[in-house]
Amino acid sequence: MRLIKMFGLAAVAAVAAMAFVGATSASAEGPTQLCNTHTGLTCGSAATSVHSVLATGTVGKLLSSIVDVLCLNVLVESAGGDVGALGNPQRLDASSMSFTGCGTTSAHSNCTVTVESLPDNTLLKLGLDEGSLEALNGSTRLQGCDLGLNCLYDAEGTLFAVGANHLTAEETPTTELGGKFFCPDEGKLDGLLVTLGSRYILGKTGSTTALCKTHSSETCAEKDQVKSLHMATTKAPVLYNTVANVECESSLGAATVLAPAEPQKIDFTELTWKGCHTQGAADNCTVTTGSLPTLDLKRTALNLGTAATLGLEVGIECTVLGLFELECVYGDDVSLPVEGALHKEGAGHGMLTASKVELEKLEGEGHCPELVKWDALYELGEHVYILK
């Protein structure tokens, strides 16, 4: 059984070894899709084939009380119709398998391993780039080894965890179906296979968005849900316009985060501006938030989202060159990109970006321009991730 386990492992690896954060115990998370890329939570490029081999510097081992068999080469492929569509679980059957260089001596040539029945497998997504693969059937025969062995092993029911482009069997028990001459009733499979090319376990986008304090899974446990936010600009915010650009030393924000939903509501309780002025002047402007906005946050990809502002109003009062006054109010419902903590280098605790977002004039006459362009980069005060 240890040998068949190795073969099941190879099948599994060929079919489903992916790039994962790490495989851990978890409950099933729903629809599963083997994917070529990992740019989001859903699969943009479904994998139609996968090839697996033994990891460099390793061998496949069949361990038993009678003999230990080592195989130098294990090749496994799943392709075409053997790779099922999105499913719960997804079907991932072996198309071909081979084992060479098997033996009990340094020559690795005195044993023969033959796949008599290719295994059918299922892949189930358990969490963030992690899953399990189960062999539903399949059989492999071990012969020779200078002992006259002729033993058949069963792969049915073998279960493997997948992660970090590896599929691992760590002395996993197997069961012997039948044979003659010293065939052990049970063996242990030990092996490590890697895919030729990255594969990922993804699925459908969840129905909720949740800001979370940790990022150990795609979903956010209730105890880790963010309840409030504090943010500050990382560079001087600017309100660009055709009359006189208004630059501030900083802008600070605070908000209450409501329960996970689609979208998740974030109610601002504070949005202030400090040290505002036009070019060449000092403190000649006051910028205020006349109406605090609500954000509708929607997750768009792994640790990414967009925030739609509702009810934002910004007031500008300036004395420009001592010649005229600006008393204007601007606002609009706009969409702002949001990055979770550590999404990329420089993302810090998490970012909300207004990149020259246009706000239309709501109030004001005379020299008030028809619109301003809000340019600011807000960083959150602590790590916040965009999960579900």
Reported confidence tier of residue 172, pLDDT bands at 50, 70, 90 = low
* Cis upstream peptide for 263 (omega within 30°): yes
Give me the pLDDT at residue 177, please.
Answer: 55
8 Å CB contact between 342 and 302: no
User: Of 174, 202, 230, which residue constitutes the final position of a domain?
Assistant: 202
Across the chain, what does the average pLDDT equal? Answer: 83
8 Å CB contact between 91 and 120: yes
Q: Is the pLDDT of residue 15 over 70?
A: no
DSSP state of 355: E
Give me the pLDDT at residue 42, please.
Answer: 67
DSSP state of 164: T
Reported confidence tier of residue 20, pLDDT bands at 50, 70, 90 = very low
In this structure, the answer to whether residues 85 and 132 fall within a common structural domain is yes
8 Å CB contact between 167 and 141: no
Token look-up 């060449």 returns: 280
Handedness of CA 124, 125, 129, 132 (dihedral sign): negative
Distance between first and last Cα of the chain:
40
Give me the pLDDT at residue 72, please.
Answer: 93
In this structure, the answer to whether residues 229 and 185 fall within a common structural domain is no
**Facing residues of 78 across strands?**
50
| Total domain count, the chain | 2
Q: Is the pLDDT of residue 11 over 60?
A: no
In this structure, the answer to whether residues 159 and 220 fall within a common structural domain is no
Distance, in Å, from the CA atom of 130 to the CA atom of 134, rounded to the nearest integer, reads 14
Helix (H, G, I), strand (E, B) or coil at 12: helix
In this structure, the answer to whether residues 250 and 114 fall within a common structural domain is no
Distance, in Å, from the CA atom of 155 to the CA atom of 172, rounded to the nearest integer, reads 11
Q: How many residues does the chain have?
A: 388
Handedness of CA 206, 210, 215, 221 (dihedral sign): negative
Give me the pLDDT at residue 23, please.
Answer: 33
Give the structural domain span for 56. 2-202
User: Of 148, 170, 202, which residue constitutes the final position of a domain?
Assistant: 202
In this structure, the answer to whether residues 229 and 189 fall within a common structural domain is no
Please count the other Cβ atoms lying within 10 Å of the Cβ belonging to residue 298: 20
DSSP state of 246: E
Give me the pLDDT at residue 294, please.
Answer: 95
Q: Is the pLDDT of residue 18 over 60?
A: no
In this structure, the answer to whether residues 52 and 135 fall within a common structural domain is yes
The alpha-helical segments, DSSP class H, found in the chain are 2-16
Q: Is the pLDDT of residue 248 over 50?
A: yes
User: Of 202, 226, 251, which residue constitutes the final position of a domain?
Assistant: 202
In this structure, the answer to whether residues 357 and 383 fall within a common structural domain is yes
